[in-house]
Structure 1
Amino acid sequence: MSINIAIIGGTGVYDPNILTDITEEKVDTPYGSIKVKVGSYQGKRVAFMARHGENHSVAPHLINYRANIWGLHLLGVKNIFATAAVGSINTDMKPKDFVFIDQFLDFTKNRPQTFVEQGVIHLDMTTPYCPRLRQVLIDAAEKMGLPYHQTGTYVCMEGPRFETPAEIRMLRQLGGDVVGMTSVPEVVLAREAEMCYATIVMVTNFAAGISLNSLSHQEVVGVMNENVQNFRGLVMEAITAVDEQADCGCQHLPESPSAVK
């Protein structure tokens, strides 16, 4: 059975045990090897990847994004649901709210952003996150009665430090809604590889200068743990509902790196 769906688990979402008949697959890529758990859910084969490693041992700026996305591509994955914890810049987006982001602002500095190493390819990113998969997530959140926002702009920072209040004021003026450290270049690489990609983000805290407290990773993980059942339930509902064989414009780009064909 082909593997058409992948879950990329971010902070707090490390457990692949929503799946059954789990095996571990090692995939060699030109950028290094990856390991993923492959199992079944509702008759569908699903790959599960822990973005930060199984023990959260890899910092956001050190993740091998190219190996991760290339490896999923080699497995045949066409639909990626990625999860992430974020801080809120927009006070309407409160802790434990889900946001189905549709745009990003990129403030990363030192990450390989592309598979393109020869020739010139200019990738269209007008719609960076797959509208089809985002609608699946919106419908799932509505069905489950979860607090959610249909759209939002994700600001991706280099990390691993948190932002200053001055940076958050700037990002708010630029139109950012939530801030994190992982969506870029993941979403860009998925688009280059002609894969449908959507991110499920959950707000864990208000960002620096908005929050009354100092920020800590422990606070982020704590809120994720409090809401992990809703997070898992949302992912499971999305896997159930998605048409894994559906055709989509994300999978047919006029320009895409020939290396990933």
Structure 2
Amino acid sequence: MTVGFIGGSGIYESLDIEDVREERVETPYGEPSAPITIGTLAGTEIAFLPRHGRNHQYSPTEVPYRANIHALKQIGVERILSSNAVGSLREDLPPQTLVIPDQVFDRTSHRCSSFFEDGVVAHTSFAEPYCPHVASHLAACADATDATVVDEGTYVCIEGPQFSTRAESEFYRANNWDVIGMTAIPEAKLAREAELCYATVTGVTDYDVWKQDAEVTLEEVLGNAAANEQSIKQLIERAIETLPDERDCDCGQTLEGAINTPSDAIPDETRERIDLLAGEYL
């Protein structure tokens, strides 16, 4: 059982991983953000991928999301845990709170959010964007940390890399969304298409810009993100240590009945590219 973890290098470096090795993976969608680091945590093999690259060189829009998800699928990952830095849209979710969202609202517009293109169409279910089994497992591990952990909430994903305007921030609050970030999409969508379980724990770093006298700065974000790392580490480690061996969800059958293009109409080059993802359905 190999568990994938996508997050920041700071959290990875704090995890108690043994027998570490690196694996370079080539995918039909280019190279992932970095070579995959594989090791053992509490007897479970874990594959870590820094979302923004080792030197944080990829902006939220430029992250090679498709290569990242495909690379983890290639090495045998079936479940992905992730972490995201987010802003809070609620007074009662102050910085250094952890939130495990169950919903996403997509406000991005410049990212490729599907593996299925160039002659093949697949309509996958995304009503529950996070695997409910893995998300509930993360929530059940809340006692591993002293931080406040909030179960459920809506993550609104914006394009970035700029922070919100005040008008945008107030609009998001008026819709009763809970946290705001830049990296949940298309990661969650691609994990679903790859039939991987996927859930995240988000660490609140700021109040976005809706709060009076609040002005998001990189210094504030980085400071609170560093403070959140220990709490996220504790929760992730407990989750991996106690993760059930079997998947108790439908994520592994997402593509069943979802491909709308007749198999014989799909170009050979496209079939080859999506073979790992959908070969059994073609």
TM range (shorter): over 0.9
Who is 1:55 aligned against? Answer: 55
Give structure 1 stretches of 5+ with no counterpart.
none
Whether the 8 Å contact between 1:153 and 1:178 is mirrored in structure 2 is yes
Write the letter of the residue equivalent to 1:164. Answer: T
For residues 21-75 of structure 1, give each alpha carbon's deviation from its aligned partner in whole angstroms, at most 9, with x where no partner exists. 1101111101112311000011111000100111212111110000000110111
Equivalent runs, 1:54-73 vs 2, <5 Å: 54-73=54-73
Equivalent runs, 1:6-45 vs 2, <5 Å: 6-10=4-8, 12-15=10-13, 17-34=15-32, 35-45=35-45
TM-score (norm 1): 0.94
Question: Which sits farther off after the overlay, 84-93 or 184-193?
Answer: 84-93
Secondary structure of the structure 2 residue equivalent to 1:168: helix
CA–CA separation in structure 2 for the residues paired with 1:211 and 1:8: 33
RMSD: 1.7
CA–CA separation in structure 2 for the residues paired with 1:8 and 1:138: 18
Structure 1 residue 206 corresponds to structure 2 residue 204: no
CA–CA separation in structure 2 for the residues paired with 1:6 and 1:119: 27
Deviation of the 1:209 alpha carbon: 2.5
Write the letter of the residue equivalent to 2:153. Answer: G
Write the letter of the residue equivalent to 1:23. Answer: R
Deviation of the 1:211 alpha carbon: 5.5
Who is 1:90 aligned against? Answer: 90
Whether the 8 Å contact between 1:192 and 1:256 is mirrored in structure 2 is no
Who is 2:177 aligned against? Answer: 176
Secondary structure of the structure 2 residue equivalent to 1:57: coil
Equivalent runs, 1:1-261 vs 2, <5 Å: 4-10=2-8, 12-15=10-13, 17-34=15-32, 35-117=35-117, 118-210=119-211, 212-253=213-254, 254-255=256-257, 259=274, 260-261=277-278
Secondary structure of the structure 2 residue equivalent to 1:93: coil
Give structure 2 stretches of 5+ with no counterpart.
260-270
Whether the 8 Å contact between 1:12 and 1:224 is mirrored in structure 2 is no
Deviation of the 1:228 alpha carbon: 1.8
CA–CA separation in structure 1 for the residues paired with 2:224 and 2:54: 19
CA–CA separation in structure 1 for the residues paired with 2:212 and 2:137: 31
Question: Which sits farther off after the overlay, 193-202 or 243-252?
Answer: 243-252
Whether the 8 Å contact between 1:16 and 1:37 is mirrored in structure 2 is no
CA–CA separation in structure 2 for the residues paired with 1:19 and 1:211: 42
Whether the 8 Å contact between 1:38 and 1:48 is mirrored in structure 2 is yes
Among the aligned pairs, what percent are the same residue? 37
Secondary structure of the structure 2 residue equivalent to 1:227: helix
Write the letter of the residue equivalent to 2:87. Answer: G
Deviation of the 1:226 alpha carbon: 1.9
CA–CA separation in structure 1 for the residues paired with 2:154 and 2:77: 26
TM-score (norm 2): 0.87
Whether the 8 Å contact between 1:37 and 1:47 is mirrored in structure 2 is yes
Whether the 8 Å contact between 2:11 and 2:230 is mirrored in structure 1 is no
Deviation of the 1:19 alpha carbon: 0.9
For residues 110-154 of structure 1, give each alpha carbon's deviation from its aligned partner in whole angstroms, at most 9, with x where no partner exists. 100100113322111111101111111111113434311111100
Write the letter of the residue equivalent to 1:31. Answer: Y
